[in-house]
Structure 1
Amino acid sequence: MLPEVDLPVRAALPELLAALRDTGTAVLVAPPGSGKTTLVPLALADQVEGRVIVAEPRRIAARAAASRMASLTGTRTGGLVGYTVRGDSRTSAETRVEVVTTGVLVQRLHRDPELPGVAAIVLDECHERHLDTDLALAFALDTRTHLRPDLMLLATSATAEAERLASVMGNGTSIVSAAGIAHPVEVVWAPPTGPVDAPYGLRVDPRLLDHVAAVIRRALTEGTGDILVFLPGAGEIGGVAGRLGGLRDVDVLSLHGRQGSSVQDDALRPGPRRRIVLATAVAESSLTVPGVRIVVDAGLARVPRTDHGRGLDALVTVRASRAAATQRAGRAGREAPGRVYRCWSERDHDRLPAFADPEIAGADLTAFVLHLACWGQTDGTGLALLDPLPAAAAQVARTTLTALGALDEAGRVTARGRAIAGVGAHPRLARALLDGAAIVGDRVAAEVVALLSADVRTSTDDLPAALRRLRDNADPAATAAWRTESRRLSGGMASHPSTGGWSGDLAAALIVGLAFPERIGRVRTAGGRVYLMTGGTAAELAQGTSLNGVEWIAIADADRQPGNAAARIRLAAPIDAETAKLAAEALYADGGEVTWTDGDVLARHRTRLGAIVLSDRPLAKPDPQLVAAALGEGLRRQGLKLLRWTPDATGVRERLAFLHHALGDPWPAVDDASLLADLGWLGPALATARNRKDLSRIDVAAALRRLLPWAQLAQLDEYAPDRIEVPSGSRIRVDYTDPAAPFLAVKVQEMFGSTQAPMLAGGRFPLALHLLSPAGRPAAVTADLESFWRNGYLSVRSELRGRYPNHPWPDNPMKAKPSGRTKPRP
């Protein structure tokens, strides 16, 4: 089967095949253009009994790889070499090499982890770190470990991060390297001459697109061959294509994942005239665009980011990594010496990140966690994942799946969860398909879900209008992809006729609402464009939209740009209040609400749909437990200052703080955080309070004493007395302001005759004495009174006797009589 094609990877095949025979696993590091995607699977097929599965991260790459291998072997696609992607398959009984997407491979592993008839798996482009690639690797390794030790597993990468791959795949995994095609690529630094704003969310400065178009025109005159241009998304491709109008004898083509397969194939075939192919990152690896001698790189990439707090997904534009820039440049040297024009400076290049972040670091993990749960490992424990799940994102995913009924309270997958996973769409969309089909019929449900899941571009934010355009075949390429996905989705369900009474637009809105119940919104001001969503976030329609003024709306796609208070609505459908309540039934609530609002307790009877208040009236007799909870929330928000801190209460708290510092448990901590963590110490007073004013009536000193067990309560005044009697007979208050250093401020004459400072905490803690002058000013500090009388008193006496001559300053203070009256009688 292996064709006589001279590609660089051929030299590494003996070592690679030997490694796979010896240990069953290997990592192949080879740059783009080396032939790893085409020659390696064919060579493996010659060595094994059974089918070789090649998993690609993108559908376009899977189809292109199968077509290329079929061409090399002189067979038709679907014969010896075939492919299977979502909604499209060309295989037969004679197929020995099947190229699939990683998502398809994950689904097959779920259906039958033993993969009968499969001898080897090649996971291509592992360096791209897509979620499905990480899952496919982990599941395949688990299958190999526990079910199929004979299954060969090869991971390929175009970058040098092979050590991590090999370590995850297990001891003995060999790393084999193959050279690339040695055609030199000249780097031309072509930064903009004027200011260009950095990318912001999905926005790319139009001045950068002007510059990219100018660089393309320059490249046309400075070199020969086709030009491959890297841009972040389909919008920028359209923008640059428009700026290239008027070029003669040149074909301008586009290449991105949302196109129909025939349009993509056109870009991958050489044409009669010189071509400019405007492409997204799909052309970085696994694809060969023939005839390319020049690459123009805008230096940007588009990656998924999820706002987990608001439940909003978005694609954001970022600077491409140095690794991506190297791969893109290599496209110019696949067939001959080439040139790359980089639309940034060499200095900026050194500041780029070395590698792109893995998708697991910022993407929505709902589907990922459901796949793990179906495999039996919801948190990924025991699986060979390249990165652990980010804790916050994984928790949000588990919460969402539990709400969908896909996981039980223990985090185990349910029968409903397996049905949702089997749909082959995002769990939210799968839930909408399964539940919505029983209400509006399977055809409508499948059509709406297909629109949301099949990468179909829409020219409007009005979802029903976009659906009508697809049904009318207004855009043949988009319609073809949509119809294929609709058939796939509806084909996997039992037939459900509509329950009747549903208009097409309202049925579409219901499906959207079932998928995203927290994105149902009601307009804030009649006739306005800003909506409050049930999830609590504001969302805004674009100017001039046909949806403007609709009271209720079901939002299918929205993103929030950094710094903006409101999300931007990209695709939505009008919905009425009753349908909104049906779609977001779990968010509907009707009853008393007691909250801490504007500095006091607010008790209302409210009907809500999530954050949207449908009706609101005063609540005459609120539940005391709800009132207590609201008061507790007020204390946590505004602090203990809401209580009335009398001198007695402050004194008890300071004494307790000293004993906790000096003795620890069981003496309680009484700092703000500890007291607010559990408000049970406020006792019945909090349970009977109705508002903020009642908080100020609570006896805080008595409440603090309730923190103490009976034995400690009896010892409080002994271990930390409020006042201490000094030798003069005066009872002086102890200052406990600093729990680490309480002290007693007393005049020198009142301590005459004493050689021992008072002790606290049951004799464990000497009390510091701040000895004062007759006028009450500090004179000395000591905790060792006898040592002070012997050593420090003389200097204090000499300093104060001249200032206060009418007061007693005995030569021997240890024998002198103490006096509260520091001035002698006349």
Structure 2
Amino acid sequence: GPGTCMRLWTEREHEQRPVQELPEVQRLDLSEVILSLKAAGVKDLKGFRWLEPPDDKRLHDAIELLTDLGGLDHKENITELGKQMLAFPLHPRYARMLLAAEKLGCVYQAALIAALTQGRDILIRKVDRATRELREEFLSERSVSDCFMLMRAWSYASKNNYQFQVCKKLGIHAQSARQVKPLLEHFLRIAKKEGLDVAPKTVDDEVIQKCILLGFSDRLAIRMDGGTLRCELVHGRRGVLARESVVHHANMFVAAEIREIGNREGEVQTILSLATEIEEAWLKDYYPDDFDTSIAVVWDPSSRRVYAASQETFRGLMLTAKRVDPPPEEPAARLLAEKITDEEIGLKHWDAKVEQWILRLNLLAEWCPEFELPAIDEDARRHLIESICMGAFSYKEIKERPVLPALKQWLNAAQREIVDKHAPERITLSNGKTPKVIYSKESAPCIALRIQELYEVKQLPKVALQKVAVAAQILAPNMRPVQITQDLESFWRDHYPSVKKELQRKYPKHAWR
């Protein structure tokens, strides 16, 4: 009859499993493949004829790693170091470590670290107090690297022939420790084949720390504060240093292992483990071109003021910051303008009159392109706000600044005259009245007058070289609209008699013709 299938996962997990796994190119590290392609002369990785094209993020991550390791330059071309790394049938990270170890004289230690970081952690994380105390007594002589503790743990297990009970006393996973030896031998054979000196040597801790840095510089991290284990990493990432790490005192370190852990709320936390303390001076020795110094301006919402700091960064990770006072004018003005645009703060004198002037200019530029007037679009508006904010560093300094005079400097004197003449703020009617013109994107320019103020006016003026008729909003004595028209002659002839009859009854004290 049929056999029995024993699934070692829950029914719920089974229902959530995909029908089939993603292709390896979609889920595995591509750095080794990309290094080979670059060595073969492939320039356009996206245009390469992949059997299953990887997504852009996986390509980006692999190129970023290879660049950090020195296998590719910043133009994504393979370097001499990259060609040397390719000679090793290993992940580029470990090839880089072995090449560095040859120069530093610690190939054996580098091979052991590579072997220890390949498989399951040989140290059991959750142990009782007695085991933890014994482990600290036997293994925690040095606290600059978790890798050193692993190396001592493996050495202890190896000397005791991986006996289960002996390893258990220190919380060492005997079987995992046993599996390290063939991996170590594998790495040593590869190194020896490439002409490296694999003989065990006694070296200073600093030598091994530098070697680890050269293999894991893409995982450089800095503690965000002394009170928590939160960290910032290069390339804008964040994580948390593992609680079991022995380098809690270190401000700067590299993590040989990064794992993501999800919680019940669906949030993912990045845990940094197998950490090794690093000194900033080593970064400057090995990666001088990856440092950048810049001045950053920031907005303080409580004081509503711009502050600036000179920052030194390494691959986007801020190492030091020193306050700059006063801040640089242009970035400060740009940031103040951004806050105004986002309506966090406002200019008191940027009022309806200012918006009307901008509309007059923009509409006239549209109606009469022959004038070749420079319209004020969103980019120009931001530029003008920046010019108003120039030289200021706080909201207090800009809130009362005049706006319209600054905006008018957008035009030369002749252009300002054209705007005033052909898109005037006020127009003169035949009865001598000079009402204000309201301009709008959605409708014709419009004046608003009570009906008595329009007596003797039969035609409305036009603006923009007589191309655009002005509309009149005719108001009752109570200032409520009666009608909007661009044809006053028709209004007087066809509509006024009935309007007059109705309004005269309501407002008998007003003059009616």
What range is the shorter-chain TM-score in?
Answer: 0.7 to 0.9
- Please state whether the residue corresponding to 1:722 is helix, strand or coil: coil
The code of the aligned residue for 2:49 comes to A
Aligned residues: 466
Mark the CA change 1:383 to 1:520 in structure 2 (over 3 Å): closer, same or farther.
closer
The match for 2:255 among 534, 555, 563 is 555
**What is the 5 A alignment of 1:292-441?**
293-298=3-8, 343-344=11-12, 349=15, 353-361=18-26, 366-380=31-45, 382-391=47-56, 393-395=58-60, 397-398=62-63, 401-402=66-67, 404-408=69-73, 410-435=75-100, 437-439=102-104, 441=106
2:437–2:447 Cα contact (<8 Å) kept:
yes
Mark the CA change 1:770 to 1:297 in structure 2 (over 3 Å): closer, same or farther.
farther
Q: 1:386 and 1:664 mapped to 2: Cα distance?
A: 55
**What is the 5 A alignment of 1:143-158?**
none
Are 2:300 and 1:635 aligned? Answer: no
Are 2:148 and 1:464 aligned? Answer: yes
**Alignment match, 1:485:** 187
- Please state whether the residue corresponding to 1:296 is helix, strand or coil: coil
CA deviation map 1:704-745 (0-9, x unaligned): 345457875553223432222333433333333556564332
Are 2:476 and 1:773 aligned? Answer: yes
Mark the CA change 1:607 to 1:412 in structure 2 (over 3 Å): closer, same or farther.
closer
Residue 689 of structure 1, CA deviation: 3.8
CA deviation map 1:93-147 (0-9, x unaligned): xxxxxxxxxxxxxxxxxxxxxxxxxxxxxxxxxxxxxxxxxxxxxxxxxxxxxxx
- Please state whether the residue corresponding to 1:721 is helix, strand or coil: coil
The code of the aligned residue for 2:11 comes to C
Residue 557 of structure 1, CA deviation: 1.8
Mark the CA change 1:621 to 1:529 in structure 2 (over 3 Å): closer, same or farther.
closer
User: Normalised by the size of structure 2, how large is the TM-score?
Assistant: 0.72
The code of the aligned residue for 1:296 comes to M
Are 2:178 and 1:514 aligned? Answer: no
Mark the CA change 1:758 to 1:419 in structure 2 (over 3 Å): closer, same or farther.
farther
Q: 2:114 and 2:250 mapped to 1: Cα distance?
A: 23
Q: Percent identity?
A: 23
Q: 2:365 and 2:115 mapped to 1: Cα distance?
A: 64
The code of the aligned residue for 2:333 comes to L
The match for 2:429 among 704, 709, 726 is 726
Q: 1:381 and 1:374 mapped to 2: Cα distance?
A: 16
Are 2:204 and 1:503 aligned? Answer: yes
**Alignment match, 2:350:** 646
2:65–2:218 Cα contact (<8 Å) kept:
no
Are 2:381 and 1:675 aligned? Answer: yes
Residue 484 of structure 1, CA deviation: 0.7
The match for 2:231 among 509, 525, 531 is 531
**What is the 5 A alignment of 1:26-65?**
none
CA deviation map 1:164-201 (0-9, x unaligned): xxxxxxxxxxxxxxxxxxxx96xxxxxxxxxxxxxxxx
Residue 639 of structure 1, CA deviation: 2.5
Are 2:453 and 1:750 aligned? Answer: yes
Q: 1:610 and 1:382 mapped to 2: Cα distance?
A: 28
2:38–2:77 Cα contact (<8 Å) kept:
yes
1:601–1:630 Cα contact (<8 Å) kept:
yes
Mark the CA change 1:578 to 1:386 in structure 2 (over 3 Å): closer, same or farther.
same
2:239–2:272 Cα contact (<8 Å) kept:
yes
Mark the CA change 1:755 to 1:510 in structure 2 (over 3 Å): closer, same or farther.
farther
Q: 2:58 and 2:444 mapped to 1: Cα distance?
A: 46
User: Normalised by the size of structure 1, how large is the TM-score?
Assistant: 0.48
CA deviation map 1:370-429 (0-9, x unaligned): 444334344335532245553455455545555555445554444444444444444455
Q: 2:319 and 2:452 mapped to 1: Cα distance?
A: 75
1:554–1:573 Cα contact (<8 Å) kept:
yes
2:336–2:389 Cα contact (<8 Å) kept:
no
Mark the CA change 1:388 to 1:799 in structure 2 (over 3 Å): closer, same or farther.
farther
Residue 687 of structure 1, CA deviation: 5.1
Q: 1:613 and 1:497 mapped to 2: Cα distance?
A: 39
Q: 1:503 and 1:556 mapped to 2: Cα distance?
A: 20
The code of the aligned residue for 1:530 comes to R
Q: 2:288 and 2:222 mapped to 1: Cα distance?
A: 16
Are 2:308 and 1:603 aligned? Answer: yes
1:606–1:614 Cα contact (<8 Å) kept:
yes
1:723–1:734 Cα contact (<8 Å) kept:
yes
1:581–1:609 Cα contact (<8 Å) kept:
no
The code of the aligned residue for 1:771 comes to I
**Alignment match, 1:233:** none
Q: 1:449 and 1:358 mapped to 2: Cα distance?
A: 26
CA deviation map 1:476-529 (0-9, x unaligned): 22321233134325643655999x99634x444333433443533344444753
Mark the CA change 1:512 to 1:806 in structure 2 (over 3 Å): closer, same or farther.
farther
CA deviation map 1:582-640 (0-9, x unaligned): 56655545675544444422133555556766655443465x4xx41243134335626
**What is the 5 A alignment of 1:565-584?**
567-579=270-282, 582=285
**Alignment match, 1:540:** 240
1:769–1:781 Cα contact (<8 Å) kept:
yes
Mark the CA change 1:358 to 1:777 in structure 2 (over 3 Å): closer, same or farther.
farther
The code of the aligned residue for 2:190 comes to R
The code of the aligned residue for 1:726 comes to L
2:69–2:215 Cα contact (<8 Å) kept:
no
CA deviation map 1:777-798 (0-9, x unaligned): 1111223434433444344333
Residue 774 of structure 1, CA deviation: 2.1
The code of the aligned residue for 1:459 comes to L
- Please state whether the residue corresponding to 1:718 is helix, strand or coil: helix
The match for 1:476 among 178, 182, 191 is 178
Mark the CA change 1:727 to 1:551 in structure 2 (over 3 Å): closer, same or farther.
same
Which stretches in structure 1 are left out of the alignment for 5+ residues?
A: 1-183, 186-292, 300-341, 811-826
Are 2:418 and 1:715 aligned? Answer: yes
1:552–1:575 Cα contact (<8 Å) kept:
yes
Q: 2:317 and 2:260 mapped to 1: Cα distance?
A: 19
Q: 1:429 and 1:706 mapped to 2: Cα distance?
A: 62
Q: 2:414 and 2:62 mapped to 1: Cα distance?
A: 49
Q: 2:27 and 2:460 mapped to 1: Cα distance?
A: 63
**What is the 5 A alignment of 1:216-295?**
293-295=3-5
Q: 1:358 and 1:670 mapped to 2: Cα distance?
A: 52
2:446–2:471 Cα contact (<8 Å) kept:
yes
**Structure with a larger share of its residues in helix:** 2
- Please state whether the residue corresponding to 1:769 is helix, strand or coil: strand
